[in-house]
Structure 1
Amino acid sequence: MYRVLIVDDEPLIREGLKTIVDWEKHGFEVAATATDGMDALQKLPDCKPDLMIVDIRMPGMDGIKLMRTIQGQYRPSPRFLILSGYADFDYARAALQMRADGYMLKPVDEDELIDHLANLKQLLDEGKAADRQSVGLRKERIVQLLLTGEANGIPDSDLAGWDWPAYEVVLVKLQNRTEIDASVIAHIKSKLMETFDASGAGTVFSMDPFLGILLGRAGIAADDVRAHKTAYEGIAAACREYGVDFTAVSGGAVRDPRETDRSYLRALELMAHRFIYEGGRIHVREPQTERECGFDRAETEEKIYLALDLGNSEGVEALIREAGNAMLASGMSELDIKTAFVQMMTNVIGKLAQSRPEFRDKSETFSTELFDVYCEYRYYALIERLCAIGAAMAAKLDGYGTDKQIRKLLDLIHRNYHENLKLETLAEVFNYNSSYLGKLFKNTTGEHFNTYLDKVRIEKAKEFLDQGMKVYQVAEKVGYSNVDYFHSKFRKYVGTSPSAYRKQITTVGDP
């Protein structure tokens, strides 16, 4: 509540002003009344008013002299509202020139007074915030010097009030899928100052690109769960108002404020891992990842392609998560992980658009969605978004053909005979044991998987040879990288060599 001193020589005016409005409702309280200027000066030190309502004409010291005296002796001086009659307009004008915040004619109108109080409360609130900011800026500069190792340049007198048992640096990175406006950052920092600086719990500072809080701690404990929970809630409340997410890390506690640079450097080390951290708490340790394992990008890409081609959304999700874990374990950076996924999935979309005509109309949409993953600032959100894209693609492709697994597999072979198809890989994307899938395939088709694949390839090879293509071109086009191996397979299933077969076709076609 802001304190009010009413100064008027008329008792009815003084009492009337005390009751004309609900002062507390508007953020004020009448702390005292005074009968004239001298009485007001005597009561001023104890009353400490934020606002004075002063009659401009009083015996002895009038309102103008009272204002001039107070403004000359007190810093900061209170705000002033002037009371006057119709004949006192020149006095009122003089008061306004002395920076009075307004004047009211007697008898005072209730609505007019309420309007003045609303304006004055806003001015007083802004002034209080500016005062806090001024103090905060001085303390912030001291913190910045401490964190950058320039503590020797700070006089001991500037650290006189720094008497916590321990100190801890908490760094905060504001995050969003779109760029955060500078004004929003400033507002969040101001909210943090209201929470931490104003309560004496800590000092808020900026160290681009981070905000931070030098927390006062009750002890040196490495992981004070309660203190961190309270601090996290304060940060979350400030960010929530503006719809901004954040990652917070702690560099640990130190006993002396001049040693806070150690806590700051440790916090910077932890903040480098922010892509991997989840939200919901202040992080004090490096993230744990799985043991390092090999990541074969080409093999992963092939498996994702096959799983999507089969409409197997569960298989796609499992492959995406496995690939992400492998990338993390291998130490890939945030940008490298995103780029690897985008490149793999882009290649997959391109292959699907070629092999599945019904998918082409959606391929551009999926490609656009894919590039949006660069906006994700958390690893786990990135993986979930990729899985959602994969599931949507699988759903688009799952409706094609029969629902029976072997029919799907046969369809896949006839469309992808030129790929490096292996039963083990297909069993993985089908979520089957390879031996079981092989038996299921043999029971359904009467052929072993490799035999069936070879026959499909050779039949396609005959079509290409009929079109006049060269043997080495045909071999590559149907999936045989070794021409001699293609010769042996062709002879096995056709009974003659590819060259002889082509000559035979040519001879048959001659008149």
Structure 2
Amino acid sequence: MIKLILADDEPLVLVGLQNMLAWENHDVTLCGTARNGMELLSMIEQHQPDIVITDIKMPLASGLDAAKVSAERFGRFPLFIMLTNFEDFSYAREALSLRAVDYLVKIELTPQVLAASVDKAVEIAKRENDSSPRKSFSVSGRGGIHPFYDKFFIRLLNNLFENREQFELQKNELGLAMPGASHVVCFCTLGGMKVDTLDNASLAELNTTIVRMLKDTASRFLSCDVIPLDMKSIVVLAHLETKISTETLRTALSLMLQQTEQVIRNYFSVTLTYAIGVPVQDMYDIHHSFFTARRLSLRNSLAVAFPDALDEEAESPEAVFMHRDAIAKSIEELDTVSLDASITNLLHVMEERQLSFSEAMDAACAVLYMALTLLPDGQTVIDGIFSDSPDGYRSIYSCKNHEDIMKWLSNLAAGLSKDMASKRQDYRQMVVRNVQTYIHENISRKLSLGEVSALFGFSQNYLSHLFTKYVGTSFVEYVTRAKISTAKEMMVSSNDKIYAIAEKLGFENSFYFSKVFKKVEGISPRDYMNRTISQGEQHTP
């Protein structure tokens, strides 16, 4: 079957496109939908489609922008069919320059027109799939970067960054602007009979669809990021243009909250309840808003709960997230000894009642969200640990006292340790492969151990140890050899001068490049080029 993705910023258009054809009759399977150009690029990397049907005008990046980036990164595939609201020669010309298969005007779109265009694309895809190798779907951005998107926000919401410098580095790598004078967390909980009766696979699919529609709808009212925490909990992180206070939150958010709740209820027969955190002016402090919102979500049954409904003093983040850094690090590094020690200490603090019930609940939820997000297959692992519970891992929300929370957390810790121990070596090798991929995709940059380890969320010592153990060389040596290897390829395949190659590979100057090259290869770049040319002439008939 040919894989196809639909992209449009109008939910109704997407629904219409999905239902316009019996896709299986055209040998096509729909593997996803996107609401903006950036999301489309992410889905192209994730699903590796053969065909994309996309609107031209979309938020964040247009369909044309997505097609251009896709062509640069992935080559001929996926094939693009462009949609627009009106005929515009400049759009059509640019679409054709990007080798789009077709250019369709929405107002003239019928099932027959769409079917003809899709059939043409399917025929091209099948023919070229048989005759041409496809480039790897890996993006220096979200193939190297996009998998870090959810991890970034989990760290941010739970105050897990070591310092502001690490936060800024990852934010810039992800290209996250997060503009605004105020920022606030809206903690969404999915409910209703439909949610309660779905199996995990169906619920996960529903969650993914709701996250996208939440993003699409909320973005019409304000700048925002939408982050799934688990299958029934989603955060809408709102970025507001003006400074606001707790007292003015209702006015600033009411329309967005009302519209998103209505859209989700109408489309999916699912209820949304919101808990709103305190506003902050600095994104680095957003954990304060998250803590408040999460506490409200556990304490209130209102459709929308604002922070002035909290009838107790604000928690101490230090108390709530005691041992958080050690727990996060042990989960990321699959260090079962450190995880057991940290959880044991946390349980002791709970047993001694050094944390209030709300603080203990927050700490347990923090460990849950870290495990769900920081482990490569976190959702599957957590589902397995709590498979005997009717409510799964969400049984944490039914805890009535400290003892219930401690029992739940002990169960989680034991399951995590068992799973981590069984896959430690495979996971560490995967980490090294991911870092190697990132290095090769960013070979033109100056790559330091500190920068890359911070981006991946590891300590420098840990990443250095992994390279030495699984690659047999240091991180710096690997990067150096990768750059020199690329330089040799450029000398053979291009007419670039030595200084140009040095500049393209991130060396400070051609003198330093020549010094490094000679150290690795035993001869200077000039001698290497001359030798290559000489060998080529000898083999020329």
What's the TM-score bracket when you normalise by the shorter of the two chains?
0.3 to 0.5
Greater length-normalized contact order (CA 8 Å, ≥ 6 residues apart): 2
TM-score by length of 2: 0.31
TM-score by length of 1: 0.33
Larger radius of gyration: 1
